[in-house]
Structure 1
């Protein structure tokens, strides 16, 4: 089971990590906001399809075409964990390769959005203070890495849940004889 977790977790991690690195390098860490987030989550879903494939593979080879919900869910979580760790490593690598100050750029975008909302006075000062606080916090890798992990892992939990629910039924994509 560990072999399947590592194999499919690394496959998912490389797919989503390569996507992240490619977009980061192509746009110097600033993809167009209108599609950047959607493309990121789409790449996560595509990569995390390895969870479904890994659970099915384990069900068919080790389980003789049958798997219970909890073992399937645990297997999916393991694959998602490995993929998420690779995703965090890819983001850290992209921060080094891009060589721009992502924290300052994102804080500036937060302030710009506050201006666009028409904030002024104390409300604008609070928004600027929040942006500066974020910038300081994001520079600390011990805080940044868990934030990056939380971007993808909940998606992996959801994919694991759905995959375990679907694949516990042996009539869904039955094993070939």
Structure 2
């Protein structure tokens, strides 16, 4: 079981992290262009497809029988590994290659909003971005915010995988 979780978690983590690293470097080199959220989301879906593979492999390793709980826990462990790799790669990128990320991201978001938003909406978003900049001064908040980007989707995929692959 450990091999199945490690193998699928590492492959999924590498897949999502490579795309995230590419998008981050694109954003760093093109500060006025917002990277595609669709590409980021699609990379997470690709990464979590390894979660489905892992649950299926676990079921096959158990002679085709797996309960919902066992399938869900297998998927959750893979999702945690994928998410942890994603967080660790982000920390390396942020602290070594893109330490001014929040300033650039904030500026990009506010410039995009300036075209269509009301002054009140811009003021609210500015306050929100300033709060995030403060959070980014604390490594624990960076870790929590980065997990919050990816882990909820992993939990959903684990639930779906548990339902799809359960077999008595």
Query: What is the TM-score when the length of structure 1 is the normalising length?
Result: 0.82
Q: What does 1:1-177 correspond to in 2, within 5 Å?
A: 1-28=1-28, 32-33=33-34, 36-61=36-61, 63-120=62-119, 124-169=122-167
- The root-mean-square deviation of aligned C-alpha atoms, in Å, is 2.3
**8 Å Cα contact 1:114-1:124 kept in structure 2:** yes
The gaps in structure 1 that reach 5 residues or longer are: 171-177
Instruction: Measure, in 2, the Cα distance between the counterparts of 1:156 and 1:55.
Output: 13
The gaps in structure 2 that reach 5 residues or longer are: none
Q: Deviations over 1:76-111 (max 9, x none)?
A: 000000000000111112223433511111222343
Give the paired residue count.
Answer: 167
Moved more, 125-134 or 51-60: 125-134
Q: Which one has a bigger Cα radius of gyration?
A: 1
Query: What is the TM-score when the length of structure 2 is the normalising length?
Result: 0.86
Name the SS for the 2:36 alignment partner.
helix
Instruction: Measure, in 1, the Cα distance between the counterparts of 2:139 and 2:164.
Output: 37
